[in-house]
Amino acid sequence: MSDGDLYHALTDVYTTRVEYNVSNKPVYAGEAAPGTLASEAGWRIQKLSYDVSDNLLSVEWASGNQNFDKVWDKRSSYTYS
Domain of 18 in residue numbering reads as 3-77
Per the model's pLDDT, the better-predicted residue between 81 and 3 turns out to be: 81
Q: Tens digit of pLDDT for each residue in 6-61? A: 555 555 689 999 999 998 999 999 999 999 999 999 999 999 999 999 999 999 99
Q: What is the pLDDT of residue 13?
A: 86
Q: What is the pLDDT of residue 4?
A: 58
- 47-58 burial string, b = 16+ CB within 10 Å, else e? bbeeeeeeeeee
- 22-43 burial string, b = 16+ CB within 10 Å, else e? eeeeebbbbbbeeebeeeeebb
Contact call for residues 26 and 57 (beta carbons, < 8 A): no
For the chain, the domain total comes to 1
